[in-house]
Amino acid sequence: MIQKKICLLGASSVGKTSLVKQFVEGIFSEKYLTTIGVKIDKKTLSIANEQVNLLLWDMEGNDSYNVFQEKYLRGAAGYIIVVDQTRASSLLEGIDIHTLARQVTDCPAILAINKSDLLATWHLDDSEYEAYQDLFALHFLTSAKTGNNVEQMFSSLAELLLKREKNDLTT
Amino acid sequence: MTSLLNTALNALEQVVLEVTDAKSCTVKLLEGGSTWASDLFPQSSDQQAFTINEDIPFLLDFLIDAKTIWQQQENAKLHSGLWTEITSNNKELHLEAIAIKHQQRNILVISNQLENFKIQQKTKQLAREVLLSYDRLFLKNEYLHTRLLSILNQPTDQSNVLATLAKVIENAEFAVLIASKDFTTSIENSAALSLFKQDDLLRSQSARPIDILITLMKNQLPEYQRILATGSSWDGELCWILPPSTLKWLKIGFYPVKSKNNQVESWIIFANDISTIKHLTQRNELLAMQDMLTELPNRFAFWQTLEEHIASKQAFYLLYIDINDFRRHNEFYGHHEGDKLLIELSKRIRRVIKAVDFIARVGGDEFAIILSGIDNKKACELAIKRIIENINKPFQTKELELFAIKVSIGVANYPNDAESVEELMKFVDLSAYNGKKNKKNSVQFYSKSMKDASHDLIKIEQELRQAIANNEFELYLQPIIDVKTNCINKAEALIRWNHPENGLISPDQFIPIAEKSGLIIALGQWVISRSCQIAKAINQLGYNVKISMNLSPSQVTDVNLFSHLRSCIKDNQLNPGLLELEVTEGVLVDDYAVAEKLLSKVRMIGMSVSVDDFGTGYSSLAYLKKLPLDYLKIDRSFIKEIVTDDNDKAIVRAVIAMAHNLNLCVTAEGVETKEQLTFLINNSCNSVQGYMLSRPIKLEHFIKLLNEQKTIN
DSSP string covering B559-600, please? TTHHHHHHHHHHHTT--GGGEEEEEEHHHHHHTHHHHHHHHH
Q: Which residues of A touch B337 (CB under 8 A)?
A: 64
Q: What is the pLDDT of residues A73-88, one digit of tens each?
A: 999 999 999 999 888 7
User: In the prediction, which pLDDT does B358 show?
Assistant: 94
Average pLDDT over residues B213-220: 90
**How many angstroms separate the CA atoms of B520 and B515, rounded?**
5
Say yes or no for a CB contact (<8 Å) between A38 and B128.
no
Q: Which CATH class is domain B284-446?
A: alpha beta
Q: Which residues of B touch A55 (CB under 8 A)?
A: 57
Interface of A with B in 94-153 (CB under 8 A): 121-122, 125, 127, 130-131, 134
User: In the prediction, which pLDDT does B199 show?
Assistant: 66
Q: Which residue, among B604, B605, B607, B626, would best test binding to A if mutated, counting the most A CBs under 10 Å from its CB?
A: B604
Q: Which residues of B touch A32 (CB under 8 A)?
A: 125, 129
User: In the prediction, which pLDDT does A147 show?
Assistant: 95
Q: Which residue of B has its CA nearest to A100?
A: B626
Q: What is the DSSP string of B402-423?
A: EE---EEEEEEEETTT-SSHHH
Q: Which residues of A touch B398 (CB under 8 A)?
A: 64
Q: Where are the domains of chain B?
A: 2-112, 133-279, 284-446, 457-706
Of B58, B64, B334, the CB nearest to A40: B58
Residue B361 CA neighbour count, 13 Å, CB half: 23
Residue A39 touches chain B, beta carbons under 8 Å: yes
Which of B276-280, B379-383, B454-458 has the weakest average pLDDT? B276-280
Average pLDDT over residues B209-234: 86
Residue B57 touches chain A, beta carbons under 8 Å: yes
CATH architecture of B133-279: 2-Layer Sandwich (3.30)
User: In the prediction, which pLDDT does B707 show?
Assistant: 93
User: In the prediction, which pLDDT does B276 show?
Assistant: 66
Per-residue pLDDT of chain A (171 residues; tens, 9 = 90+): 899 999 999 999 999 999 999 999 999 998 888 999 999 999 999 998 889 999 999 999 988 678 888 899 999 999 999 999 888 778 888 988 998 899 899 999 999 999 999 888 777 777 777 777 778 999 999 999 999 999 999 999 999 999 988 887 665
pLDDT at residue B391 tops 70: yes
pLDDT at residue B570 tops 70: yes
Q: Which residue of B has its CA nearest to A69?
A: B81
CATH number at A15 reads 3.40.50.300
Residue B135 touches chain A, beta carbons under 8 Å: yes
User: In the prediction, which pLDDT does B206 show?
Assistant: 72
Average pLDDT over residues B155-175: 70
pLDDT at residue B13 tops 90: no
Residue A12 touches chain B, beta carbons under 8 Å: yes
Q: What is the pLDDT of residues B294-318, one digit of tens each?
A: 888 888 788 888 988 988 888 999 9
Q: Which residues of B touch A86 (CB under 8 A)?
A: 136
pLDDT bracket for residue B285 (50, 70, 90):
very low
3-state helix, strand, coil in chain B (%, to 5): 50, 25, 25
pLDDT bracket for residue B287 (50, 70, 90):
very low
**How many angstroms separate the CA atoms of B440 and B420, rounded?**
30
pLDDT bracket for residue B619 (50, 70, 90):
low
Residue B247 CA neighbour count, 13 Å, CB half: 6
Give the residue from A27, B519, B56, B257 showing the smallest Cα distance to B44. Answer: B56
pLDDT at residue B202 tops 60: no
Number of domains observed in the structure of chain A: 1
User: In the prediction, which pLDDT does B284 show?
Assistant: 42
Interface of B with A in 558-617 (CB under 8 A): 562-563, 566, 600-601, 604-605
Q: Which residues of B touch A64 (CB under 8 A)?
A: 131, 334, 336-337, 398
The whole-angstrom distance between A115's CA and the closest CA on chain B is 15
pLDDT at residue B138 tops 70: no
The whole-angstrom distance between A58's CA and the closest CA on chain B is 10
Q: Which residue, among A12, A13, A21, A36, would best test binding to B if mutated, counting the most B CBs under 10 Å from its CB?
A: A36
Q: A126-133 vs B592-604: helix axis angle to the nearest 10?
A: 80
Task: Tell me the sheet residues that pair with A117.
Answer: none
A109 or B126, which is more confident? Answer: A109
Give the residue from B129, B318, B294, B629 showing the smallest Cα distance to A61. Answer: B129
Domains B2-112 and B133-279 share a fold: yes
Average pLDDT over residues B222-249: 82
Which of B212-226, B238-252, B376-390, B661-675 has the weakest average pLDDT? B238-252
Which of B389-393, B649-653, B680-684, B708-712 has the weakest average pLDDT? B708-712
Average pLDDT over residues B219-231: 83
User: In the prediction, which pLDDT does B1 show?
Assistant: 47
Tell me what the pLDDT averaged over chain B comes to.
84
Average pLDDT over residues B615-627: 67
Residue A160 touches chain B, beta carbons under 8 Å: no
Q: Which residue of B has its CA nearest to A34?
A: B125
User: In the prediction, which pLDDT does B83 show?
Assistant: 96
pLDDT at residue B123 tops 80: no
Interface of A with B in 75-104 (CB under 8 A): 75, 86-89
**How many angstroms separate the CA atoms of B438 and B416, rounded?**
26
For chains A and B, CB pairs below 8 A equal 81
pLDDT at residue B579 tops 90: yes
Q: B448-469 vs B507-517: helix axis angle to the nearest 10?
A: 100
pLDDT at residue B491 tops 90: yes
The whole-angstrom distance between B651's CA and the closest CA on chain A is 31
Please answer whether residues B488 and B709 qualify as being in contact, where contact means their C-beta atoms are separated by less than 8 angstroms.
yes
Q: Which residue, among A20, A63, A64, would best test binding to B if mutated, counting the most B CBs under 10 Å from its CB?
A: A64
Average pLDDT over residues B259-276: 82
Say yes or no for a CB contact (<8 Å) between B124 and A127.
no
CATH architecture of B2-112: 2-Layer Sandwich (3.30)
**How many angstroms separate the CA atoms of B393 and B671, rounded?**
40
Q: Residue B667 carries which side chain, given as an amino acid letter?
A: T
Residue A30 touches chain B, beta carbons under 8 Å: no
**How many angstroms separate the CA atoms of B495 and B498, rounded?**
10
Say yes or no for a CB contact (<8 Å) between A12 and B128.
yes
User: In the prediction, which pLDDT does B438 show?
Assistant: 59
Residue B352 touches chain A, beta carbons under 8 Å: no
Of B58, B143, B562, the CB nearest to A127: B562
Please answer whether residues B358 and B305 qualify as being in contact, where contact means their C-beta atoms are separated by less than 8 angstroms.
yes
Give the residue from A101, A110, A162 showing the smallest Cα distance to A136. Answer: A110
Q: Which residues of B touch A21 (CB under 8 A)?
A: none
pLDDT at residue B77 tops 70: yes
For the stretch B493-498, contacts whose Cβ atoms lie closer than 8 Å and that sit 24 or more positions apart, written own/partner, are: B493/B527, B493/B530, B493/B531, B493/B534, B493/B547, B493/B548, B493/B549, B493/B550, B494/B550, B494/B696, B495/B523, B495/B527, B496/B696, B497/B467, B497/B472, B497/B473, B498/B472, B498/B473, B498/B474
Q: Which residues of B touch A39 (CB under 8 A)?
A: 83-84
Q: What is the DSSP string of A66-115?
A: B---GGGGTT-SEEEEEEETT-HHHHHHHHHHHHHHHTT--S-EEEEEE-
What length is written for chain B? Answer: 713
Residue ranges making up the domain that contains A121: 2-170
**How many angstroms separate the CA atoms of B102 and B222, rounded?**
67
| CATH dotted code for B457-706 | 3.20.20.450
